[in-house]
A and B are shown apart, each in its own frame.
Chain A
Amino acid sequence: MSHGSHYLTRVEGHGNIVVDVKKGKIKQCRWEIPEAPRFFEAMVRGRKWDELHHITSRICGICSISHTLASVKATEAALGVKPSPQTVKLRRLAKHAETFQSHILHVGYLVLPDLMGVDSVIPLASSHPEQVKTVVRLHRVANEMSDLLCGRTTHPQRIVPGGFTRLPRPEDLETLKSRLRVAIPDLQAVTELVQSVAGNFPHFERQTEYIALVQDGEYPLYDGRIGSTDGGAWDVREYRAITNEYIVPHSTAKYAKHNRDSYMVGALARFNLNEQHLMPMAKEAANSFGLKAMCCNPFMNNVAQLVECFQSIEDSTRLIDEVLADGLHGETFKVEPKAGRGASAVEAPRGILFHEYEYDNEGRCTEANLVIPTNQNHGNIQRDLEALLPDLLAKGEEQTELGMEMLVRAYDPCISCSTHMLKVRFEH
């Protein structure tokens, strides 16, 4: 009997979950990525150093700031350019804008419907109008923050190798700071709403390795070394030894593994490695859910995302104060093309992201390698699905589908990056 198939929705991109169950026995449980491959690494070859961030930003609409930042950092590493402290602070602010925007979008628009038993945020707009308006307000603040720092919300215009093509005005940063302060009660309201339905997150745990940036004394998103919960920290230039990408036939995305069969990146990985460096409101939010490192329940990634929203607000406020105290000043910067190779890492909302380029002496790209967070998660998603399926099967097909979809959604996969849509297909 064929149960037909349906696409996994409310994720960025296309993915299928194929489950083949015969007489209650699992014959097959497979995570497939049929997304049309786009070949960015090949496409950037021959392009000049001042174009790569523009092209690679188009890998992902949701995390275009992360791709832009990873790109300019790799180019700067290759060409020996050191951005000013002001530039670094403004980039860190841009990073927070994206993290906040992406996490609110995911938790508020895509995950909440599962927890509240509806199939999208649209019916919630009529059943829970105030709550939805709160989510919308938060998303707006985050987007305004991106506009202010990057020129627009998606595909930033101002971030280039060496610095910013245009700076925010001090008064705009003051306004942003007060908008962020006003957003705190809204974020607390969303946190309380998620808490009220958090019992609907499945109780599921599976030990795995978590990988994220680590940095002394901070909860790093913009820069750092590569850290693992299995122990160790490595320079970013050594990323290939950590990611070990490989290809599986049923997927247009690459997979990755390090110390074990698979590892996880993203908000939960960052939390597990850097919990001690969270700022007070973020710590309090984690405590309110009982979230503690090491947490091995992938569904708690959604909660870690909420925690990081508080972190982004608090750290942004601190950064704005610093930038304003230093005095915003227009800077000139010059980038000279030369031959070289450079690698970089940033924490995209979905996890650690690597870009590496090689340039010739005219500053034309000759080699490129990009390792995307969702690709690093595919192997771990597969193994979680395998571990989760037997328990779910006892609850019937409908609950099995929902549980498997919720699991994949918890990873907030960004599949068009990694190479789209989730389907659960039962093959009886």
Chain B
Amino acid sequence: MKPTVAFFDFAGCEGDQLQVVNLEQQLLELLEQVEIVSFREVMTGHSDEYDIAFIEGAITRKSDEARLKEIRKNAKLLVAIGACATIGGINALKNLQDLEEVKRYVYGDGAKHFQTYPTRPVDAVVKVDAYVHGCPIDRKEFLSVVKALLLGKKPEIPNYPVCVECKAAENVCVFEMGQFCVGPVTRAGCEACCITQGSICWGCRGFVDDPNTDAEKEILAKYGLNVRDVINKLRLYTANSEVAR
């Protein structure tokens, strides 16, 4: 029997599940290896029996925890996909503000109808077996993680900074062009795609383990940036993380 997989989402933009749909022909090929039993974004059928659960989105409400724990109970393996699920992501920006004020700002007098708590990644609530980082996830990396899991292996995720891949891509360092980026402390695996496209590294894959934040702050200071901008940049995707503070 084919292994069964299921997709679930919490607070997020569903852009990571869209990357799975965007596999297109490769998704049809993947369907020869696995059976999708739940994927609300594209199918009506649903089963609570699955081997691998993919979770997109961050946890932003106490009430979401029970649903996530139920999925964890049903699944043999649980995989967090995308920055919101792996590190809290953009949704965690609200953690930097007073939550009651945040609710009032968006919903005014209606704020009392809305529950929210500080945004957290999936592994803050349940055990996570594998991660597919990025905002959005990279389709190739998703397939390689799935392949590893199907073969019973631990997926390999780089633990060196984006700068390594950025140099290999022969990009001109954005600091040299008067901009600043968080590539020096951000986990690689994206082939520095944003810098290659003329942008900067925004930090969507989260920090490498033991990031050299002092060096990052030094670089940023050397290029004449103020502390507030530096801290803000570091916190864009990682407001949930202690390192960013």
Instruction: Point out residues on A near B: beta carbons under 8 Å.
Output: 7, 9-13, 35-39, 41-48, 51, 54-55, 58-62, 64, 105, 109-110, 113, 119-122, 125, 132, 136, 139-140, 143, 151-155, 157-158, 160, 164-166, 247, 249, 252, 254, 416-417, 420-421
Residues of A within 8 A of B24 (CB): 136, 139-140, 143
Instruction: Point out residues on B near A: beta carbons under 8 Å.
Output: 9-19, 21-22, 24-25, 28, 31, 36, 39-46, 57, 60-61, 64, 89-91, 93-94, 97, 101-103, 105-110, 113-114, 116, 135-136, 193-194, 197-199, 202, 229, 232, 236
Known contacts A152-B193, A249-B113, A39 near B18 by CB under 8 Å: no
Residues of A within 8 A of B44 (CB): 9-10, 113, 119-120
Known contacts A37-B114, A136-B24, A154-B15, A58 near B9 by CB under 8 Å: no
Q: Which of A54, A60, A417 contacts B202 (CB 8 A)?
A: A54
Q: How far is the CA of A391 from the CA of B236 in the complex (A)?
A: 50
Q: How far is the CA of A229 from the CA of B14 in the complex (A)?
A: 33
Most buried by A among B25, B103, B199, B229: B199
Asked if A37 and B116 make an inter-chain contact with CB atoms under 8 angstroms apart, the answer reads yes
Residues of A within 8 A of B202 (CB): 54
Asked if A38 and B197 make an inter-chain contact with CB atoms under 8 angstroms apart, the answer reads no
Q: A12-B41, A136-B25 are in contact. List 8 more A-B contacts (CB 8 A).
A: A36-B57, A55-B93, A61-B16, A157-B197, A157-B198, A158-B199, A165-B199, A166-B197
Q: How far is the CA of A139 from the CA of B13 in the complex (A)?
A: 19
Asked if A155 and B106 make an inter-chain contact with CB atoms under 8 angstroms apart, the answer reads no
Asked if A42 and B21 make an inter-chain contact with CB atoms under 8 angstroms apart, the answer reads no
Q: Which of A10, A136, A421 contacts B43 (CB 8 A)?
A: A10
27 interchain pairs (CB within 8 A)? A9-B40, A9-B41, A9-B43, A38-B91, A39-B105, A42-B101, A42-B106, A45-B105, A54-B236, A58-B15, A58-B90, A59-B13, A64-B13, A119-B44, A122-B31, A136-B25, A152-B197, A155-B135, A157-B198, A158-B198, A165-B197, A165-B198, A247-B109, A252-B113, A416-B12, A417-B13, A420-B14
Closest to A47 in B: B232
Q: How far is the CA of A110 from the CA of B18 in the complex (A)?
A: 13
Asked if A109 and B197 make an inter-chain contact with CB atoms under 8 angstroms apart, the answer reads no
Asked if A43 and B42 make an inter-chain contact with CB atoms under 8 angstroms apart, the answer reads no
Asked if B42 and A154 make an inter-chain contact with CB atoms under 8 angstroms apart, the answer reads no
Residues of B within 8 A of A105 (CB): 21
Q: How far is the CA of A41 from the CA of B94 in the complex (A)?
A: 10
Q: How far is the CB of A177 from chain B (nearest CB, A)?
A: 21
Residues of B within 8 A of A153 (CB): 19, 22
Asked if B197 and A158 make an inter-chain contact with CB atoms under 8 angstroms apart, the answer reads yes
Q: How far is the CA of A35 from the CA of B64 in the complex (A)?
A: 10
Known contacts A39-B94, A48-B229, A119-B44, A154 near B113 by CB under 8 Å: no
Q: How far is the CB of B180 from chain A (nearest CB, A)?
A: 11
Closest to B41 in A: A12
Closest to A160 in B: B199
Q: Which of A42, A151, A417 contacts B193 (CB 8 A)?
A: A151
Closest to A415 in B: B14
Known contacts A38-B60, A39-B106, A165-B197, A155 near B232 by CB under 8 Å: no
Closest to A43 in B: B93
Q: Which of B13, B42, B91 contacts A60 (CB 8 A)?
A: B13
Closest to B98 in A: A42
Known contacts A12-B41, A64-B13, A143 near B94 by CB under 8 Å: no
Asked if A61 and B18 make an inter-chain contact with CB atoms under 8 angstroms apart, the answer reads yes
Q: How far is the CA of A212 from the CA of B239 in the complex (A)?
A: 37
Q: How far is the CB of B143 from chain A (nearest CB, A)?
A: 16
Q: How far is the CA of A11 from the CA of B89 in the complex (A)?
A: 23
Closest to A11 in B: B41
Residues of B within 8 A of A37 (CB): 60, 106-107, 114, 116
Q: How far is the CA of A59 from the CA of B13 in the complex (A)?
A: 6
Residues of A within 8 A of B25 (CB): 136, 140
Asked if B13 and A122 make an inter-chain contact with CB atoms under 8 angstroms apart, the answer reads no
Residues of A within 8 A of B110 (CB): 247, 249
Residues of B within 8 A of A9 (CB): 40-44, 46
Q: How far is the CA of A256 from the CA of B90 in the complex (A)?
A: 26
Q: Which of A10, A125, A155, A158 contacts B15 (CB 8 A)?
A: A155
Asked if B14 and A61 make an inter-chain contact with CB atoms under 8 angstroms apart, the answer reads yes
Q: How far is the CB of B63 from chain A (nearest CB, A)?
A: 9
Asked if A143 and B22 make an inter-chain contact with CB atoms under 8 angstroms apart, the answer reads yes
Residues of B within 8 A of A35 (CB): 11
Closest to A139 in B: B24
Asked if A43 and B18 make an inter-chain contact with CB atoms under 8 angstroms apart, the answer reads no
Closest to A405 in B: B44
Residues of B within 8 A of A160 (CB): 199
Q: Which 5 A-B pairs have the closest CB atoms?
A: A61-B15, A165-B198, A120-B43, A247-B110, A151-B197
Q: How far is the CA of A41 from the CA of B89 in the complex (A)?
A: 16
Q: How far is the CA of A87 from the CA of B120 in the complex (A)?
A: 38
Q: How far is the CA of A7 from the CA of B45 in the complex (A)?
A: 10
Asked if A51 and B19 make an inter-chain contact with CB atoms under 8 angstroms apart, the answer reads no
